[in-house]
Amino acid sequence: MSENAVLIADTRDRVGKGTSRALRREGRTPAVIYGDKKEPISISLETKELMKTIMRDAFLSTVYTVQVGDAKHNVLPRDMQLHPVKESPLHVDFLRVSAKSQIAIMVAVTFLNEEECIGLKRGGVLNVVRHEIEMMVPAGNIPEAIEIDLEQYDIGDSVHISEVTLPEGCEPTITDRDFTIVTIAAPIAEEEPEEEEGLEGEGVEGEEGAEGEAGETAEADGDGESESE
């Protein structure tokens, strides 16, 4: 396993909501290390340093070395609770890993040569079905992204997982179907506004006809009255 970024932690003798609140008031974040068929270890980390790490790295897909006293643990963050307003970490779960560990993780998809893509140059639209793909990957070699070269794809083409060259040792967790990652869709044609001149003309003509009929009726009524007189 390549050299990892190091996080310095202290052990926690007590656990519970009260202890966790006290730690946060002291500027520390409670956490736990578990897995690898070993006993879990309750720890705490300095919140400011943890925040710097979270902002700098792809935190939930990066292997770290957590140093607790003289002991070092290679871990992968698996869950992180954030404050609903401040968005500062409230608690972190770390999973022990080794170079041989296979772990399920979401890996981002990136697209190459969009400007040279045949379909996009013809006015097609990039329709991304999956921005991330869940993969089984070696803990010691987690890919930053899955790259898809779009240059040769035309309008109507789709890219399926079977067409993508995956990093060594990586495979999708979905194995029962050849799922779609992205398509090049046809451009959406703009609808032309309907002409209303004919309708307006019909309306005017109708009004004139109505006026004419009203006049004829009035004349008939007038004739009738004079006849009765």
Residue 17 sits in a domain of what CATH number?
Answer: 2.40.240.10
Q: Does residue 44 sit within a domain?
A: yes
Instruction: Provide Rg for the chain, Cα atoms.
Output: 35
Record the tokens describing residue 31, joined without a space. Answer: 């956490």
How far out from the chain centre does Cα 53 lie? 22
Q: What is the CATH number of the domain that holds 165?
A: 2.170.120.20
> Residue 58: which H helix or E strand, with range?
none
CB count in 10 Å sphere of residue 146: 21
pTM above 0.95, yes or no: no
Average pLDDT estimate for 76-92: 91
Greater confidence, 203 or 121?
121
Specify whether the CB–CB gap between 30 and 42 falls below 8 A. Answer: yes
What is the number of structural domains in the chain?
Answer: 2
pLDDT tens digit string along 92-135? 999 999 877 888 999 999 999 999 999 999 999 999 999 999 99
**What is the band of 146 on the pLDDT scale with cuts at 50, 70, 90?**
very high
Of 41, 72, 98, the last residue of a domain is: 98
Q: Does residue 198 sit within a domain?
A: no
Q: Is the domain of 80 the same as that of 115? A: no
Specify whether the CB–CB gap between 50 and 29 falls below 8 A. Answer: yes
Is 218 a residue whose pLDDT tops 50?
no
Q: Does residue 172 sit within a domain?
A: yes
Greater confidence, 113 or 196?
113
Q: Is the domain of 88 the same as that of 119? A: no
- pLDDT the model gives residue 32: 96
Is 203 a residue whose pLDDT tops 60?
no
Q: Does residue 54 sit within a domain?
A: yes
Q: Is the domain of 85 the same as that of 155? A: no
Q: In what order do the strands lie in the sheet with 171-172?
A: 145-149, 102-112, 132-138, 171-172
- pLDDT the model gives residue 37: 85
Of 37, 69, 98, the last residue of a domain is: 98
Percent of the chain whose pLDDT exceeds 90: 58
Q: Is the domain of 72 the same as that of 141? A: no
- pLDDT the model gives residue 222: 47
Q: Is the domain of 56 the same as that of 94? A: yes
Q: Does residue 197 sit within a domain?
A: no
Q: Is the domain of 55 the same as that of 108? A: no
**What is the band of 58 on the pLDDT scale with cuts at 50, 70, 90?**
confident
What SS3 state is found at 133?
strand
- pLDDT the model gives residue 31: 95
pLDDT tens digit string along 7-43? 999 998 878 888 898 999 999 999 999 998 889 999 9
Record the tokens describing residue 207, joined without a space. Answer: 């009004």
Q: Is the domain of 83 the same as that of 157? A: no
Specify whether the CB–CB gap between 211 and 155 falls below 8 A. Answer: no
Q: Does residue 210 sit within a domain?
A: no
Q: Is the domain of 112 the same as that of 126? A: yes
Specify whether the CB–CB gap between 128 and 162 falls below 8 A. Answer: no
Q: Is the domain of 94 the same as that of 118? A: no
Q: Does residue 221 sit within a domain?
A: no
Q: Is the domain of 64 the same as that of 128? A: no
- E strands of 69-205, at which residues? 71-82, 89-96, 102-112, 125-128, 132-138, 145-149, 158-160, 171-172, 180-185
User: How far is the C-alpha of 124 from the C-alpha of 154, rounded, in Å?
Assistant: 8
Backbone angles phi, psi at 58, to 5 degrees: -80, 85
- pLDDT the model gives residue 98: 84
- pLDDT the model gives residue 229: 39
Is 197 a residue whose pLDDT tops 50?
yes
Residue span of the structural domain in which 61 resides: 5-98
Of 76, 98, 120, the last residue of a domain is: 98
Q: Does residue 206 sit within a domain?
A: no
In one-letter notation, the amino acid at residue 25 is: R
Average pLDDT estimate for 138-160: 93
